[in-house]
Structure 1
């Protein structure tokens, strides 16, 4: 009788785990070393953080890398449960529920060293310059505000920071064009491609989060994910992961 009861208990525990286990689909954009495509799979600091959280929750999480514009469209169509590696901004609160702050990043203006780029004291010194930004990002919104205040500041949009750097290398942008993006990302990409960038001006510090799609994801699941992520922040798991990518955890 005892053996039968024990076997039944083990079965019920196993079955209950199968019932609560869920599958989630997230999208991140090319944003190395935070999120990037490696050997046809999503990799990076934020990806590893998410996968650890999924593992602790007993869920299976799939992550793909797509341009931000496509990621937002997929979220709008309720095809995905969340978008990774986004800067936290109030405008997204209508459609997204943010995770705890995960990665500390700095938004900056940078320029090619060979073009004679030097630090500036104020964005007002950017009169008449051309700046590249990734469309759909928090940086783009900040630069657009600068463009309203700075005479003849021209803003060009591109798919992502890696594409912008690639176009610099291939001569599709003039050397004196500036890039506004996340400093940690620009440094990673430029070092990989053997070019040197100079930080002209620090725009703001912005933490990165996981943005859960409210229309797609149950509120209870969002709460559970955030509980685990907060636990990972407190026990040092997130810091340990990010250190391997030369990234700093958010406070």
Structure 2
């Protein structure tokens, strides 16, 4: 009987092994989605990532760093995932994905009171635009013809450049813009850009069982209304529902 029990245990062990591995989540300072407050990493995306990892029974770590470094770690180091990451066709094959942590629209911001009458993409390309190194927004701007984008290591530096007049425009999500206004930052919308889905991008060798478990828990989070509650807790309106048309790939 002991021999039979041991044989069964060994045969079942590999099925649960992937969930016992440690998954390393990395992100950047980018309120309100992921940022440090009172020494703790928090935010709309962080709350979702921690909730689904715990629900899936996955051992994980969470670290905050400059975006370019975080993105490179997830692409080059097994068992690493980066968020909150813009999903597009070019990135689709470079990672395995858990989507959507949010669906948001992009916006070009200007200093409050600055006049750019009748601003179009063509006119905006003639202005000084800044963003963060490795950020999805850089790729989005380059695809529509922007060149010589002023790159910083994080969003706080980009905002300071905008407010000091070193750049004229900066791209961000509409929800980040709303948070900036709420916090009293003197910025305004210059023009709207296309919408975007954001999620968790993991190294391609991440065990499929881990990705499947995380996606299943995120789907539950969305359908239960808990994702909406998280957005509301941070004082922002919920994302457009994307469980049916964007959560699975």
Count of residue correspondences: 226
Question: Structure 1 residues 119, 137: closer, same or farther in 2, change over 3 A?
Answer: farther
Q: Is 1:220–2:218 an aligned residue pair?
A: no
Q: Conserved in 2, the CA contact under 8 Å of 1:97 and 1:211?
A: yes
Could you give the per-residue CA deviations for residues 163-215 of structure 1, whole angstroms, max 9, x where no partner exists? 2113345x3x43x61112222213423543x3321212111110211112113
1:84 Cα deviation after fit: 1.1
Alignment of 1:1-251 (within 5 A): 20-78=19-77, 80-117=79-116, 120=119, 122-147=120-145, 154-169=148-163, 171=164, 173-174=165-166, 177-189=168-180, 191-192=182-183, 194-215=184-205, 217-245=206-234, 246-250=236-240, 251=242
Question: Structure 1 residues 239, 109: closer, same or farther in 2, change over 3 A?
Answer: same
Q: Conserved in 2, the CA contact under 8 Å of 1:111 and 1:200?
A: yes
Flag structure 2 segments of 5+ consecutive residues without an equivalent. Answer: 1-8, 243-249
Task: Give the TM-score taking structure 1 as reference length.
Answer: 0.80
Secondary structure of the structure 2 residue equivalent to 1:33: coil
Equivalents in 2 of 1:127, 1:79: separation in Å?
38
Secondary structure of the structure 2 residue equivalent to 1:248: coil
Q: Conserved in 2, the CA contact under 8 Å of 1:161 and 1:186?
A: no
Task: Give the TM-score taking structure 2 as reference length.
Answer: 0.81
Secondary structure of the structure 1 residue equivalent to 2:100: coil
Secondary structure of the structure 1 residue equivalent to 2:149: strand
1:234 Cα deviation after fit: 1.1
Equivalents in 2 of 1:64, 1:50: separation in Å?
12
Equivalents in 1 of 2:54, 2:125: separation in Å?
50
After superposition, the CA RMSD in angstroms is: 2.4
Structure 1 stretch 77-86 or stretch 50-59: which is displaced more? Answer: 77-86
Q: Conserved in 2, the CA contact under 8 Å of 1:25 and 1:63?
A: yes
Q: Conserved in 2, the CA contact under 8 Å of 1:134 and 1:181?
A: no
Secondary structure of the structure 1 residue equivalent to 2:77: coil
Q: Conserved in 2, the CA contact under 8 Å of 1:133 and 1:156?
A: yes
Question: Structure 1 residues 168, 128: closer, same or farther in 2, change over 3 A?
Answer: closer
Could you give the per-residue CA deviations for residues 35-56 of structure 1, whole angstroms, max 9, x where no partner exists? 1122333210111001111121
Flag structure 1 segments of 5+ consecutive residues without an equivalent. Answer: 1-11
Equivalents in 2 of 1:160, 1:137: separation in Å?
9
Equivalents in 2 of 1:156, 1:232: separation in Å?
37
Equivalents in 2 of 1:145, 1:230: separation in Å?
31
Equivalents in 2 of 1:80, 1:67: separation in Å?
19
Q: Conserved in 1, the CA contact under 8 Å of 2:108 and 2:192?
A: yes
Equivalents in 1 of 2:126, 2:76: separation in Å?
39
Equivalents in 1 of 2:143, 2:99: separation in Å?
27
Secondary structure of the structure 2 residue equivalent to 1:101: strand
Could you give the per-residue CA deviations for residues 99-122 of structure 1, whole angstroms, max 9, x where no partner exists? 1222121111110113335563x2
